[in-house]
Structure 1
Amino acid sequence: MADTTHTTPPDRGGGGGRPDLATEVFVTHRNLLFTVAYELLGSAADAEDVLQETWLRWTGVDLDTVRDQRAYLIRITTRRALDRLRALGRRKESYVGPWLPEPLLTAPDVAEDIELAEHISMAMLLVLETLLPIERAVFVLREVFDLEYEEIADAVGRTPAAVRQLAYRARSHVAARRPRGNVSAEDTRNALTAFQRAVDTGDLQHLLDILAPDVVFLGDGGGIARAALTPIVGAEAVAAVLAAGLVNLAARTPEPAHINGHPALLLHIDGRIDTVLALRLDDGLVTGLYSVRNPGKLTRLQCETILRR
């Protein structure tokens, strides 16, 4: 089922009930604009706010002066997202424990767009968190949405030459930190199955077999739900943390799902989603375990969110 909770532009079409051109254009590109904002922010709630701001700005534009409506809307969205990204950075400084992106329930067809699925994965969004805001914007607009340097320059307020430098720097930074190679959905499902088997049987050897020596466990409870307040690093340390919670984990009903374009687990307690568990895989081993438990980040998991390029 598609997500129907998005902000919808009002019908400004008069008595006939047909939306005017501005509304039609915005609705046509809405899923794309949401994807741009989410890629830049890692927060669906903030992305929705950005879209509302974009819509309000768009309603005041003289469409006769707009040569490329898609590029113009992306420019507005990018500028609003950059402003919010800087504010979001200040909020993260006071966040309780590790901050993880807000997970999205996505349709299986998102995984078919390999490049999009890679860039919206939890692992990649965490890599993008290490970029400066303007580097992140340039990288996303160029690498994910394939905008020309001149279009990106208009969006971020820099010259095309400066944008090329920013793009080069961002690509180098991301290349050194991104997951190594494309991971198939089958490999991810196998790793999740091994994790679930360890929970069901209490046999941690199953976990140790798939955990990389330098695996990192991040738990996001936001100071509301119980979670590790610092990253847990190393296979034995991560296994020990999971062992301490195996009884509680076993009480949570697992449900396979596509989260951010990749297989993941939704863990339920008493019929409600308690935890989203996502993995990062490198060379066949789990190098990242991401557990999102902050209830404020689990609100969009009842319906699929449509993401588009």
Structure 2
Amino acid sequence: MLYSTTPAAEKRRLFRERLATGELLRFPGAFNPLSARLIERKGFEGVYISGAVLSADLGLPDIGLTTLSEVAGRGQQIARMTELPAIIDADTGFGEPMNVARTIQTLEDAGLAGAHIEDQVNPKRCGHLDGKAVVDEETALKRIRAAADARRDPHFLIMARTDIRAVDGLDAAIDRAKALVDAGADAIFPEAMRTLDEFDAVRRAVDVPILANMTEFGKSDLFSVDQLKNVGVNIVIWPVSLLRIAMGAADRALDTLLEEGHLTGRLGEMQHRADLYDLIDYEQYNRFDQDVFDFRIER
């Protein structure tokens, strides 16, 4: 009932232990707290919280318009609803290195298991769009050093995302990844890799876990879990997939309402009320109420 029973520090510890095994961990993107609970129930290893999804949820483009308080608040709402570890997109860290430090401590307090900080120029762009610009190496390294120095829980995962592949090529991405690891990154998120060979090249270049972003309609082909596992990827995310599917279904349902005036023909596509109540543990709330209000006032 209510929130996760596993403390945030324990989630982080267990996550880091599992990540150290070298297995591939699957982190679908949750677009709200309820979807995070469904991800857990289906048997995935973690939950990803996308900056693009948080922006879209507010009706905004993914160009750095969200604030730390908005991101941390939504991250907390999602992370506390599941026993799984949650990794969140912290964009460029919301400012200068001191702001990056504050970002990490705020996300720790919000119960996240880790965050990634990227090397784009602020305001950033979606990682799979053209026209991105990245900061110089010194600035990128300062962000990661600030993040690593600021964390209080050593199990909180500091992941460095680099977008330089789309700007200066694969060799530059590999060089940047190595430097980011030296600066204190626990893991590397090489954005917009185009082939499995590119993931393999990054994997061979660094001795920390790497993440693959399997977002639809982007620069990367949509590789399978097995394909990514075979080249040594440690975490795979599908950041916007559930939101896209949900919004596609909502779009079709609204068209049906306009055309037919009812949704009778789409009942089979809906989550049944009984399944929703089971997912939110409705019966446990009922039992709690009964246990609390089981007294009589004597007159």
Q: TM-score range by the shorter chain?
A: under 0.3
> TM-score scaled by structure 1?
0.27
* Larger relative contact order (CA 8 Å, sep ≥ 6): 1
